[in-house]
Amino acid sequence: MSTAAWQRVSLPMLILNVLSVVPRHGYGISQSLASAGLQPIKGAQLCPALVRLEDEGAIVARWEQSESGPARKVYDLTAIGHAQREALRGRWFAFIDAAEAVGRAD
């Protein structure tokens, strides 16, 4: 499986991780992920994930006026989002632990 495929599967957790630090707009989320060394996220992947997270109540969006251009949506984590992030991270680390255990001597 390619890095991009792993990234798609883990995108909700990655978005929640980014937003746990500071609210961001979509491009800012994408830039944060790229700065961490991940593949660039295209809008066709990011936007549906943001909509799903918003529908689930994990994030909220507000419009913020920009000094240099049009207003943009800024996303922030909710209490549900913080809980969802912790649950996803717990499952992620359990998966990593299990995957690393495969092939070790019993």
Domain CATH code at residue 78: 1.10.10.10
Does residue 13 form part of some domain? yes
Does residue 106 form part of some domain? no
**Count of domains in the chain?**
1
Band (pLDDT 50/70/90 cuts) for residue 1 is low
Does residue 93 form part of some domain? yes
pLDDT the model gives residue 5: 75
Whole-structure pTM value: 0.87
Asked whether residue 14 carries a pLDDT value surpassing 90, the answer given is yes
Q: Which domain holds residue 41?
A: 3-101
Q: What confidence tens digit (pLDDT) does each residue in 39-95 have?
A: 888 888 999 999 999 999 999 999 998 888 889 999 999 999 999 999 999 999 999
Burial of 59 (0-12, 13-18, 19+ CB in 10 A): buried
Q: In what order do the strands lie in the sheet with 24-25?
A: 24-25, 72-77, 59-64
